[in-house]
Amino acid sequence: MEAANNNASQNRVENGEAGRRRIRNPLILTTGAGARGMNDNIDWHTSIALGFQHFLVMLGTTALIPSILVPILGGGHEEKATLIQTILLVSGISTLLQSWFGSRLPVVMGGSYAFIIPAISASVRFRTEEPHLRFIYSMRAIQGALLLASLFHVLVGVFIMPTFGRLLSPLTTIPVVMLVGLGMFVYGFPQLGTCAVVGLPTLATLFFIAQCLPYLVSRSREEQCNRFSFLRYLRANPNEIQRFALLFLVPFVWPFAVIMSTAYGHTHSSCRVHLSGLFSGAHGFWIPNLFQWGSPTLDIRDVVPMVVAVLISAIESTGTFLVASRYGLATPPPPFVLRRGVIWQGIGTLLAGVFGTGIGFTASVENAGLLGLTRQGSKRAVQIAAAFMIGFSILGKFAAFVASLSLPIVGAVYCLLYPYVVSGGMSFIRFCNPNSYRVNFILGFPVFLGIFVASYSHESLLISVVGSSWWSNTVQLICSSPALGAAAAIIMDIVVDKGDLAQFRESGRIWWAQFRDIEDDTTSFYSLPEKIILMAILCLTQRRVLQFHQWRTIVFITTPPLLIMS
């Protein structure tokens, strides 16, 4: 009897190991044709096209944040153009660092909206100064707060993120990722609605190109006689149409926006397609200098809201890392990957303080949605996008021309990208038990809390609170972020009827742990590149201390070889 039990248990173990070998990553089983993961080899011309799409998507946020901040701080067109070029440069460097040494996921590092309120708060005490001086003094105060907050950012990655990663389960991941996408709703349709005659046709055209046109082309080639037979002469296959939907969109939408700008621009300023002084203010060939606004100043009233913004951006980046791993066809990132990613995000915030971008950085939510739209989780495409950022930050005139893209067009594109982030978070329900009342409550309450508190904060408190005091700005920042819902989800998963093994299974921890513990998969997705590490060691062991302009030259010369090796 005992021998029979031993044989049965051994068979169960062998069957479990065999099943574990067969299903190495459950996310791969749900993807469609033409999908590519973060480690798949993609040809260079496809990678360049995908990288340019990533650049176009992040350019909307890069131009929008300075457009909000610079007039409030007292700057003009020249300061706005300088800030856009500086943000592009630091975004490109931070993206390369994140893809080489950080999370190793296909994420783009861009400006975070969470830093807008702290930046405005830092400028309040200079409101009596002359506009240009107010801008300079405000930027120095923001630089000092960013430099100190970046140290806290690194400490958050070292000490808090490993614990936060261990507390995450598939059940708590769903509200975290969903709130990261839903929290951006104010930059989607409200931005589109500022000029509906441009935004709505853009949204309809993008939806048709990305979702309807590939099906019609495929059907026209399968059936010889149908009403869509003329589409068979398109040289692009259906997968390529969806993959390059944004590139197909721009030639149609941009001329249409120019026509609408001529017709409605004199009555609706948001419909105008113009350079807004960016072209005249942008430099022809220029590399931002360190501390370009002067010596940073430090005030505890500026640091506290900035530290809260850093914590919120770390939570936003965690949600973006999780959904990027989903669309990059990788296993869910273990705690040490989240720690590494937040640490290098903190280094990006440090670079933001050093160069004077005026804001901190986070993993771009809209670019994570682009991974789902294109079904291409290529890490090489993201690195090429970083090269575009660095190149266009130097060629300021061309960057100013591309930044003239109408903001309603950006809002229309975001209306299609943010839902991919939300649905990517919902896809983690496959690991949970959706028939459990406990699971339904823990899913529903944090999402509802995160939405209605943020909505109330945006509608009722933004005008009366921002700029009044550093404490009220901090409260406003917390209430308008997804951090509140994420904290509620984790706390409820711990305290609500916890202790039973069945409930532990309902949250998906047991199922998810199988794929988090596969060492070879984790190594293949998140291991550090040996060639880049060896090159960094060789550079650090050189005895000669180089000057800043020499280091700058080395960076721009060695970036293409490093891009190819990685």
For residues 231 and 501, what is the distance between their CA atoms, to the nearest angstrom? Answer: 56
Q: What is the mean pLDDT of the chain?
A: 78
Q: Are 56 and 248 in contact (CB under 8 A)?
A: no
More reliable by pLDDT, 362 or 518: 362
Average the pLDDT over 318-332 and give the result. 89
Q: Which of 311, 170, 190, 199 is nearest to 260 (CA)?
A: 199
Phi, psi (degrees; rounded to nearest 5) at 361: -125, 155
Q: Are 83 and 67 in contact (CB under 8 A)?
A: no
More reliable by pLDDT, 511 or 355: 355
For residues 225 and 219, what is the distance between their CA atoms, to the nearest angstrom? Answer: 10
pLDDT-based confidence at 125, cuts 50/70/90?
Answer: confident
The one-letter amino acid code at 71 reads P
Structure tokens at 359: 């804001």
Q: Which of 467, 548, 154, 166 is nearest to 301 (CA)?
A: 467
Average the pLDDT over 127-144 and give the result. 86
Q: Are 26 and 428 in contact (CB under 8 A)?
A: no
pLDDT at 270 over 80: no
pLDDT for 19 equals 38
pTM of the model: 0.85
Handedness of CA 111, 116, 119, 120 (dihedral sign): positive
pLDDT-based confidence at 22, cuts 50/70/90?
Answer: very low
pLDDT-based confidence at 126, cuts 50/70/90?
Answer: confident
For residues 60 and 369, what is the distance between their CA atoms, to the nearest angstrom? Answer: 14
Q: What is the DSSP string of 370-405?
A: HHHHHTB--HHHHHHHHHHHHHHHHSHHHHHHHTTS
Residues in CB range of 480: below 8 A, 6 or more apart: 117, 183, 454, 457, 458, 462
pLDDT for 94 equals 94
pLDDT digits (tens, 9 = 90+) for 496-543: 755 667 777 788 887 777 666 555 455 567 777 665 556 556 655 554
Query: What is the DSSP-derived secondary structure letter of residue 529?
Result: P
pLDDT at 461 over 80: no
pLDDT-based confidence at 96, cuts 50/70/90?
Answer: very high
Structure tokens at 285: 């060939």
pLDDT-based confidence at 17, cuts 50/70/90?
Answer: very low
Structure tokens at 421: 């982030």
Q: Which residue(s) pair with 376 in the sheet?
A: 36
The DSSP element (H or E) to which 361 belongs, if any, is strand 361-363
Q: Which of 291, 342, 311 is nearest to 105 (CA)?
A: 342
For residues 185 and 166, what is the distance between their CA atoms, to the nearest angstrom? Answer: 29
pLDDT at 454 over 70: yes
Q: What is the DSSP string of 427-491?
A: GGGGGS-TT-HHHHHHHHHHHHHHHHHHHHIIIIIHHHHTTT-HHHHHHHHHHTSTHHHHHHHHH
Q: Which of 405, 447, 403, 406 is nearest to 426 (CA)?
A: 447
pLDDT at 282 over 60: yes
Q: Are 71 and 134 in contact (CB under 8 A)?
A: no
Average the pLDDT over 416-436 and give the result. 88
pLDDT at 350 over 90: yes
Burial of 479 (0-12, 13-18, 19+ CB in 10 A): middle
pLDDT for 466 equals 47
Q: Which residue has the tokens 């700057």?
A: 75
